[in-house]
Amino acid sequence: MNLLEKSMPSNPEMEKTVLWVMMQYSQACTEALGMVHEEDFYQSWHKKIFRVIEEENLAGRHADIAALTSLMVAQHGEDALDPVLALADSVGVHENLPRYIEFLHEATQRRRIISMAMCALQGAHNEETPIKETIAAAEISFGEIYTASEICDKADIVAPSSLEESMLEIREKGLRNPGVDTGWQNVNTYYMPARGMLNIISGIPSHGKSSYMDALSFNLSRLHGVRWLYFSPENYPIQQHMQKLIELYNDKPFSPLMSSHSSPEENTKAIKFIDEHYGFITLPDNQNTLDALMRLVDRPAKEGRADGLIIDPWNSLSPSPAAKARNQSETREIGEALLRLRRFARRYNMFLYILAHPHKMLKPHGATKYDVPTLYNISDSAHWYNMADNGLCIYREDMEKDEIAVYIQKIKYKAHGKIGVVNLRYIKHSGRFEPMDEEKEGW
């Protein structure tokens, strides 16, 4: 048989088994939704069933066999009854769920490879399409396959008694994941960064969130030796970003046109420090997706050559080709992306920061200033608040003053801070910030 005449690889029985286990056990459903997507189901009815189970889970409900039957018939008519009842033939158990999902992922990867090869063949035959575009498309497709093969954390049930020794150690030595000094004592009262946490920083454009992130990253490198991977099209070109970091290091202007500027010797020393603690990420315009970014940072993170990742800003990344192909909503894509990044931070025990703009802010009627944005104001999804471990907003009440307020709006663990507001003064010649006296709990 000709290869082109063969049906696409799939595992219908395993698809049924995974869906059955998701219906039988609510905890298994939650675990599975973190590891599988609609595209992992090849059979059209199985896709529809998965979509209903997922929607119910997002609404805080568990779709057992009775609920699923009713919902499927309501959405797709009586024809949906047999596919749902056919799931009952499965004999899967919760404990084996990760193994079942491995089988699904294998079939998905095989389909992706075939689709990629077909696209490459069509592009290669079409002489009107530049060969560079065909190669770039193939690279993106390979990236999607790589993403699907990323290792998922193994599901397990942990016995409390197995944690006794570690709890005694925590009692004596404190939390193993303590927050670290930011370099600003007033900020430390409310927020101390910790490894393995997803931090979201928002703020109205020009209110200083990128400058704050530069200063915070520099402080963490200077005080704790943190090595950053920095993706920041906001700071284009890289030489401009380098100048900001050199000024932070020297506490002096870089330009020789400024008085009291740094000397060549001081700049050489600053560049050496930056070289040891920063790696600047660049992505081609046709590959500026989260998939491409994660492929690039995975190896240095895995090998322990990086301690932190900064994305500034989020909207500089384009939707993935897979999401476009699935006509996936922006809300769902953001939720999946944030979940993936949070797992990345925890898997490699890294500091992770995403800077994201709020949607267009409107001034209250009669007001001269904007309200303070929240994480819920970030464009396209409430996931920004829900999935963040910690959330901060940078706000300038008076654009004529070199002062910012850091609104700490969400803190996951009390050991890392609390809700509140602190004020910092911006030092123009160096890009540094210094504490101001005023601070308050709540906001």
pLDDT > 90? residue 416? yes
| Domain count along the chain | 2
Verify that 135 and 234 share a domain, yes or no: no
Q: Write the CATH number for 187.
A: 3.40.50.300
Q: Is the pLDDT of residue 410 over 50?
A: yes
> What's the pLDDT score for residue 257?
85
In this structure, of 4-13, 40-49, 201-210, 221-230, the range with the lowest mean pLDDT score is 4-13
Which distant-in-sequence residues (6+ apart) come within 8 Å of 6 by Cβ? Answer: none
What does the DSSP 8-state code read for residue 154?
Answer: P
| Tokens standing for residue 382 | 């409430």
Which percentage of the chain shows pLDDT scores above 70? 86
Does some domain include residue 337?
A: yes
Residue 157 in any domain: the answer is no
Verify that 332 and 437 share a domain, yes or no: yes
Task: Residue 183: give the domain boundaries.
Answer: 177-441
pLDDT digits (tens, 9 = 90+) for 244-301: 999 999 999 998 888 889 999 999 999 999 999 999 999 888 778 888 898 889 889 9
Question: Does residue 201 have a pLDDT over 60?
Answer: yes
Which DSSP helix (H) or strand (E) runs through 140?
Answer: helix 131-148
Are 92 and 222 in a shared domain? no
Yes or no: say if 375 and 387 are a contact pair by the CB < 8 Å rule: no
Looking at the structure, tell me whether residues 286 and 335 fall in a common domain. Answer: yes
CATH (domain of 43): 1.10.860.10
Task: Render pLDDT for 65-119 as a digit per residue (tens, 0 to 9).
Answer: 899 999 999 999 999 999 999 998 888 888 888 888 888 988 888 888 887 777 7
Which pLDDT score, from 0 to 100, does residue 186 have?
93
**113 and 220 both lie in a single domain:** no
Please check the confidence at residue 305 and state whether its pLDDT lies above 80: yes
Asked if residue 189 and residue 88 are part of one domain, the reply reads no
338 & 375 share domain: yes
Buried b (16+ CB within 10 A) or exposed e, 121-147: eebeeeeeeeeeebeebbebbbbbbbb
Give yes or no for a cis peptide into 313 (omega within 30° of 0): yes
Q: pLDDT over 90 for what percent of the chain?
A: 46
For 62, phi and psi rounded to 5 degrees? -105, 125
Contact in structure between 357 and 378 (CB atoms under 8 Å): yes
What is the pLDDT at residue 322? 55
Residue 55 lies in a domain: yes
Compute CA 173 distance to the chain's CA centroid, rounded to the nearest angstrom. 31
Model confidence over 353-405: pLDDT tens digits?
999 999 876 676 666 688 898 999 887 778 899 899 999 999 998 888 999 99
Same domain, 107 and 182: no
Specify if 346 maps to a domain: yes
| Mean pLDDT for all residues in the chain | 85
Are 110 and 216 found together in one domain? no
Q: Are residues 391 and 294 in the same domain?
A: yes
pLDDT of 208 above 70: yes
335: in domain: yes
Measured at the alpha carbon of residue 13, what is the angle toward residues 7 and 16, in degrees to the nearest 5? Answer: 115
109-159 pLDDT, tens digit each: 888 888 777 777 777 777 777 777 766 666 655 655 555 445 445 555 677
Q: What does the block give as tokens for 5?
A: 């005449």
Q: How far apart are CA 247 and CA 230, in angstroms?
A: 17
Residues 132 and 209 in one domain: no
Which strand ranges, in their side-by-side order, compose the sheet holding 351-356? 278-280, 228-231, 308-311, 351-356, 198-202, 390-395, 403-411, 420-426, 433-441
Q: Which of 148, 163, 194 corresponds to the end of one domain?
A: 148
| Residue 300 placed within a domain | yes
Does one domain contain both 223 and 328? yes
Domain assignment of residue 166, yes or no = no
In a domain, 33, yes or no: yes
**Cα 257 from Cα 284, distance rounded (Å):** 34
